[in-house]
Amino acid sequence: MRNDPRPLRRGAASRRRCAYARTAILAGMIACALSARAAEIVLDFSDVPVGQTPPGFRSTVAGKGLPGDWRVVLDDAPSAFAPLSSNAPVPAKRHVLAQLSQDPTDERFPILIYENETFGDFTLTTRFKLVGGKVEQMAGVAFRIQDENNFYVVRASGLGKTFRFYKVVNGVRGEPIGPEMEIPAGVWHELAIECKGNQIRCRLNGKEVIPPITDLSFTSGKVGFWTKSDSVSYFADTRISYVPREPPAQVMVREVLAKYTRLRGLRIYAPTGAPPELRIVASARESELGQPGGRAEHDVVERGTIYYQKTKNSVVVVMPLRDRNGDPVAAVWIEMESFPGQTQQSALARAQPILRQLQARVKDAADLIR
């Protein structure tokens, strides 16, 4: 079989121009999210040039004012990670992440969001140092981030002498939970967050100074580094252990295969990454995940084209999966057994129930991964 089936018909290209832009929300999906095993992400910024923002992050702001100025700087920060060997050199200074903007706007909360994964259950540890700020000296981690108006945060305040947890829902900050305590500036502190289902635990320097919290507002989301107003804060040695979440697209594929047992193959292609590239985000064969789309799949997403190809023993149909507005957000690749007298029209008729089952679960591009 050729890699790309023949086009059956083409839609109006002028109505499909923004297919990739609409599906950019899929950015950050990674292959390990399809594994049932535990995974770990380590962020030490050692490979990021000084003065640059680390890749894979998005700078934004909650509340008022402008986003922060997040850059990698050099600092005297002993590593929390064990060296690879006893002969490894100890660097005089290390690369750490810094928020450098000193905009004193009140209710300004710069956040640098890690975009490459969405976390459900996880344990995060990081170190932070309060470096400067006349109005505030704060550092923390926002987690289970839905957007700039909905997330949890745990933060330390040097000037306010507090260690607090609170949640933000629809832009409204809830009551803070946590003690008053000394948090010296100019030294490194360790912050740890553990989320399991609706249970949240927060530790500072190894001590659980905030009682365990039970909350059902957010069950998963992004994580990000957080500061307030003119706080200059450093972060280093971040480690996230988590249970990878199975994307809804893969769940959909599994359900379709259970119902249509004679299918030979089923894939969903969608734009992922930044800039977005068309790749397999769900498949009957998990070894195919992450593989790039071909010309047929690109045409399906960009133009709404339908493709058909017949071989001796099978037929392949590639059809657009559309959002609530009728715009293509993904391509569905369906391989079925062929039979004597198989026609293009009958192949499309056989594929339609499969597409409808998938379509019923998709209102927008995000429904494929969240």
- Final residue belonging to a domain, choices 242, 272, 300: 242
200 inside domain: yes
Q: What is the pLDDT of residues 234-287, one digit of tens each?
A: 999 999 999 887 788 999 999 999 999 889 999 999 998 767 889 999 999 988
HSE toward the beta carbon, residue 247, CA cutoff 13 A: 31
1 inside domain: no
For residue 276, say if its preceding peptide bond is cis, omega within 30 degrees of 0: no
32 inside domain: no
**In a 3-state reduction of DSSP, which class is residue 121?**
coil
Q: How many structural domains is the chain composed of?
A: 2
- Final residue belonging to a domain, choices 221, 242, 263: 242
For residues 21 and 72, state if they share a domain. no
For residues 198 and 102, state if they share a domain. yes
For residues 118 and 255, state if they share a domain. no
137 DSSP 8-state letter: -
For residues 222 and 77, state if they share a domain. yes
- Final residue belonging to a domain, choices 181, 209, 242: 242
101 inside domain: yes
For residues 344 and 221, state if they share a domain. no
258 inside domain: yes
CATH label of the domain that carries residue 238: 2.60.120.560
Question: The tokens of 247 are what?
Answer: 């994307």
57 inside domain: yes
For residues 276 and 300, state if they share a domain. yes
307 inside domain: yes
- Res 13: pLDDT: 39
For residues 84 and 43, state if they share a domain. yes
Which residue's entry shows tokens 């629809």? 170
322 inside domain: yes
For residues 139 and 270, state if they share a domain. no
Q: Which domain holds residue 121?
A: 37-242
CATH label of the domain that carries residue 307: 3.30.450.40
* Residue 364 to residue 368: CA distance in whole angstroms: 8
Which residue's entry shows tokens 């280093």? 236
Would you tell me how many other CB atoms lie within 10 Å of the CB of residue 35?
A: 13
Q: What's this model's pTM, rounded to 2 decimal places?
A: 0.63
For residues 69 and 181, state if they share a domain. yes
In degrees rounded to 5, what are phi and psi of residue 105? -50, 130
**Is 129:74 a contact under the CB 8 Å cutoff?**
no
Q: Which run of H or of E encompasses 183?
A: none
* Residue 112 to residue 101: CA distance in whole angstroms: 13
* Residue 122 to residue 105: CA distance in whole angstroms: 32
Question: The tokens of 254 are what?
Answer: 């599994």
**Is 311:335 a contact under the CB 8 Å cutoff?**
no
The one-digit pLDDT tens for each residue of the chain (370 residues) are 344 566 764 443 333 333 333 333 233 333 333 334 578 999 989 999 999 999 999 999 999 999 999 999 999 877 665 555 556 555 578 999 999 999 999 999 999 999 988 899 999 999 999 999 999 999 999 999 999 999 999 999 999 999 999 999 999 999 999 999 999 999 999 999 999 999 999 999 999 999 999 999 999 999 999 999 999 999 999 999 998 877 889 999 999 999 998 899 999 999 987 678 899 999 999 889 889 999 999 999 999 999 999 988 899 999 999 999 999 999 999 999 998 888 999 999 999 999 999 999 898 888 887 6
For residues 211 and 308, state if they share a domain. no
- Res 33: pLDDT: 36
For residues 17 and 62, state if they share a domain. no
Residue by residue, DSSP assigns 130-163 as: EEE-SS--EEEEEEEEEETTEEEEEEEETTTTEE
For residues 63 and 203, state if they share a domain. yes
- Res 44: pLDDT: 85
